[in-house]
Amino acid sequence: MYRVLIVGRPNVGKSSLFNRLVGKRTAVVADTPGVTRDLKEHVVETEKGRFMLIDSGGMWSSDVWEHKIKEKVEQALKTADLVLFAVDGRSDLATADLEVADFLRRQHKNVLVVATKVDDPKHENYLGDLYALGFGDPIPTSTAHARGLDDLIDAIWARLPVRQADDEPEVVPIRIAIVGRPNAGKSSLLNAILGEERVIVSEQPGTTRDVIDVEFDYGGNRFLLVDTAGIRKRPETLVEEIAINRAHNAILDADVVLLVIDPFEVGDRELKLANEALDAGKPVILTITKWDLVEQEEARKVRADLNLKLAHLEHLPRAYVSAVTKENLHKLFSEAARLYAMARERRETAELNRFLSLWTAHVALPNFKGKPLKIFFLTQAEVAPPTFVFFVNYPEFVTRAFEGYLRNRIGEDLGIKEIPFKLVFRGRRDPKGKEKGKEEE
């Protein structure tokens, strides 16, 4: 797939341009310079075809992240087919713009200048200075008013090299959200998996400011890894609040959630994040990071302490990993693929009702004022999460204890206790049914 990289100095509207071309708000945008730090990728669908659009951090930012951001841009340039050089069309050329231009010339890449924030056609008369950058005609655009975007798409396709069409069918990747508290080791984990510093890592909390998507192949499966900002109870800035909201949305969009846990800092936040994912019907893998820091003689004690603090989540699969030694990283993908398949397995109605006859034969059914609960049959209505519908005479007769019994039996006998699932009890006079309780946690 073609790769198109957006570069430019801070606060020229790169992320706004990225969002407009992608067609939805995926990159965090704020008036504060330096919001974007890592590379962010998304596929752009057009009438002429598809290309991967890559957003990058502001270059020549004169802050602590300047060197790291430049490294990321250099890394992305190696595979880029076209560079969109974003320049503020309403401002005079800044020294940083000229520095970026010199940098791009040394890379010998195909560059297209995009003048941003050109909200009115009359402002196009003031773009003459942009020719001094040495990359030809600038394309005037306005993300606020959606001006010039069609012309920009046409210019992009005109500049992209001709390639033979790829006839291979597209494989939908398994989407894995990497979530956890700040400094739990999420970005280090992603970098270790990819074998490169794909996202910036720092001891400073809040380094990751956005949701970062990276596709990755492992064991014959395709995965989309989604790195997120650390989730804390009280965000300190508006940018951090937006980033945390994106992290929560990443959980809702995921197929599988890696809950990254620092073994030296475990508390209610991990339980809340796990419950949030499970309530949304997402399988969760407890990913204990920084295992290389646990001394061998202390490992048993640390495991016991984790078992105690995570007792509520004892049924979930667990992996002890290290971004330094890369211990057990392979297990994350084998487990994710297994849980993904498990959540999408559909059981035959006949098989479910054979189990139901066994379950009801070994327990007394609830009885209210001489009227017993009757279960006519059981079927699976949905997958991801699996949803089991019990057709009964009176849904209100289902007690919490009996529901718990059925949950345990379904989890154990159907072999799905590691993933969330729903139970619905539908009566003869209640065609829509009544869901009892929350998903399995």
67-71: long-range contacts at Cβ-Cβ below 8 A with a sequence spacing of 24 or more? 68/37, 68/200, 69/37, 69/200, 71/197
Confirm or deny that 89 is annotated as ligand binding. Answer: no
Among candidates 286, 222, 212, 282, which has minimal Cα distance to 252?
282
Confirm or deny that 181 is annotated as ligand binding. Answer: yes
Confirm or deny that 14 is annotated as ligand binding. Answer: yes
> Tell me, what DSSP letter sits at residue 161?
P
Helix and strand counts by DSSP (H, E) for the chain = 11, 18
Among candidates 219, 218, 280, 222, which has minimal Cα distance to 254?
280
Confirm or deny that 427 is annotated as ligand binding. Answer: no
Confirm or deny that 185 is annotated as ligand binding. Answer: yes
Confirm or deny that 34 is annotated as ligand binding. Answer: no
Confirm or deny that 15 is annotated as ligand binding. Answer: yes
Helices (H), 254-396: 268-279, 299-309, 329-343, 349-361
**AA letter at 288:** I
Confirm or deny that 370 is annotated as ligand binding. Answer: no
Confirm or deny that 228 is annotated as ligand binding. Answer: yes
Confirm or deny that 11 is annotated as ligand binding. Answer: yes
CA angle 176, 166, 164 (to 5 degrees): 140
Confirm or deny that 307 is annotated as ligand binding. Answer: no
Q: Which residues pair with 424 in a beta bridge?
A: 389, 435
Confirm or deny that 342 is annotated as ligand binding. Answer: no
Distances (CA, A) of 421 to 37, 412, 436: 38, 12, 11
Among candidates 339, 179, 335, 337, which has minimal Cα distance to 251?
179
Confirm or deny that 437 is annotated as ligand binding. Answer: no
Confirm or deny that 8 is annotated as ligand binding. Answer: yes
Residues 295-306: b if buried by 16+ CB within 10 A, e if exposed: eeeeeeebeeeb
Confirm or deny that 183 is annotated as ligand binding. Answer: yes
Confirm or deny that 32 is annotated as ligand binding. Answer: no
CB atoms closer than 10 angstroms to residue 363: 12
Confirm or deny that 58 is annotated as ligand binding. Answer: yes
Enclosing H/E stretch for 45: strand 40-46
Q: Are 260 and 179 in contact (CB under 8 A)?
A: yes
Q: Which two tokens stand for residue 119?
A: 């909200």
Confirm or deny that 187 is annotated as ligand binding. Answer: yes
Confirm or deny that 219 is annotated as ligand binding. Answer: no
Confirm or deny that 180 is annotated as ligand binding. Answer: yes
Q: Is 90 helix (H, G, I), strand (E, B) or coil?
A: coil
CA dist 203 and 183 (Å) reads: 7
Over the Cα atoms of the chain, what is R_g?
26
Confirm or deny that 57 is annotated as ligand binding. Answer: yes
**AA letter at 42:** H
Confirm or deny that 281 is annotated as ligand binding. Answer: no
**AA letter at 185:** G
Binding annotation: 8-15, 55-59, 180-187, 227-231
- Per the annotation, where are the binding residues for GTP? 8-15, 55-59, 180-187, 227-231
